[in-house]
Amino acid sequence: DTEVTQTPKHLVMGMTNKKSLKCEQHMGHRAMYWYKQKAKKPPELMFVYSYEKLSINESVPSRFSPECPNSSLLNLHLHALQPEDSALYLCASSQVTGAGYGYTFGSGTRLTVV
Amino acid sequence: AQTVTQSQPEMSVQEAETVTLSCTYDTSESDYYLFWYKQPPSRQMILVIRQEAYKQQNATENRFSVNFQKAAKSFSLKISDSQLGDAAMYFCAYSLKETSGSRLTFGEGTQLTVNP
């Protein structure tokens, strides 16, 4: 299995809702990432997990809460989002010490906050 | 801080022709990785080619090749025999060798159109 699977593919949520994005991989990668991407812009790093521990938090607002329950799963819990948080959220994974082989990305969750 | 610059927001090429996408970067490190990623309208980021900075030989993957000039901090992508399926946004990216997960620094992207 050489894929990163993200669910759901599309999500519309109100500003008072709580929702979660899910990401799963079975490649044995021990580093997992969340990126946020606005239209026609490059992805921006949000969080990095290494061996299921949060290693990088790029000063992301607390309304985004990441979780890595095991080596194959990565969640992003969303609460009280703002319309400007509407974007494509990409999950990726890589080898921890061999990230030079590149990331494997999922196809993303298109999030719309109304 | 590392930065990656793609100076061509848009490029176009005729099918079967060759096109070169430019990328420059700024770093004080000597050992790092460079990548080209492709993002078609399907949204998935796909790794096209990678280069290790300490390797002087330019990477090649089928119709895709790079011109890596370390001293000039330049990393261009050449696509030969362009196909309609090559149409996408192309991002140049940089990564340090890290032991706790590596952050990718992306350029702003080049939108490639392939004309039939």
Residue B66 or B56, more confident: B66
Tens digits of residue pLDDT in B68-101: 999 999 999 999 999 999 999 999 999 987 766 7
CA distance A103 to chain B (A): 8
Partners of A43 on chain B (C-beta within 8 Å) are: 45, 91, 104, 106
Tens digits of residue pLDDT in A16-40: 999 999 999 999 999 999 999 999 9
A-B C-beta contacts closer than 8 Å = 73
**Residues belonging to chain B:** 116
Does residue B1 surpass a pLDDT of 80?
no
With cut-offs at 50, 70 and 90, classify the pLDDT of residue B55: confident
Does residue A103 surpass a pLDDT of 80?
yes
Q: What is the DSSP-derived secondary structure letter of residue B73?
A: T
Using the beta-carbon criterion (under 8 Å), do A43 and B109 form an inter-chain contact? no
d(CA A31, CA A100): 12
Would you call A39 an interface residue with chain B, using a CB distance cutoff of 8 Å? no
With cut-offs at 50, 70 and 90, classify the pLDDT of residue B41: confident
Q: Which candidate from A32, A88, A99 shows the least CB-CB separation from B98?
A: A99
Interface test with A, best of B98, B99, B112 (most A CBs within 10 A): B98
Q: How far is CA B70 from the centre of its chain?
A: 14
Instruction: Output the pLDDT for position A98.
Output: 56
Q: Which candidate from A41, A43, A49 shows the least CB-CB separation from B101?
A: A49
Strands (E), chain A: 4-7, 10-13, 18-25, 31-37, 44-50, 53-57, 64-70, 73-79, 87-94, 104-105, 109-113
Interface test with B, best of A88, A105, A109, A111 (most B CBs within 10 A): A105
Percent of chain A with pLDDT over 70: 96
Report strand pairing: A10-13 vs A109-113: parallel
Instruction: Output the pLDDT for position A101.
Output: 73
Does residue A67 surpass a pLDDT of 80?
yes
Helix, strand, or coil (residue A32): strand
Using the beta-carbon criterion (under 8 Å), do B109 and A40 form an inter-chain contact? yes
Instruction: Output the pLDDT for position A102.
Output: 80
What separation in angstroms does the CA of B17 have from each of A87, B46, B62, B64, B76? Answer: 34, 22, 15, 13, 17
